[in-house]
Amino acid sequence: MSLDLTTEEVDEIWMEAQQHRPPVTSIDRLETIYTVPPPLGSGHEREIEFYPGLELRIFNSTYNDLTFLGGRESALGTVYGSPVRRD
């Protein structure tokens, strides 16, 4: 069964999940690991900042059968799910 969600609903699921299970950040704050919220799928997404403006994102995740319904680009800059920091 497909889960039909708007971009805003996906953002809300990620925000709520991060309140219950915050992303893990390295001591030097150059690496962050996000856990995919169970309603969306499973796995994790890893973000590594080499220097300002150059980041590597590694996706090791499986998403449930999702359908994204129209809407605008995510205010959080969502890429496949986890929020991208926009400082």
What does the alpha-carbon distance between residue 56 and residue 31 come to, in Å, rounded to a whole number? Answer: 9
Compute the average pLDDT of residues 12-20: 91
> Two tokens at 86?
């926009």
Position 4, amino acid: D
Per-residue pLDDT tens for 40-87?
899 999 999 998 889 999 999 988 887 777 654 444 444 445 544 444
Residue 32's DSSP bridge partners are 25, 47
What does the alpha-carbon distance between residue 43 and residue 73 come to, in Å, rounded to a whole number? Answer: 23
What does the alpha-carbon distance between residue 85 and residue 65 come to, in Å, rounded to a whole number? Answer: 26
What does the alpha-carbon distance between residue 43 and residue 29 come to, in Å, rounded to a whole number? Answer: 21
Domain boundaries, the chain: 3-69
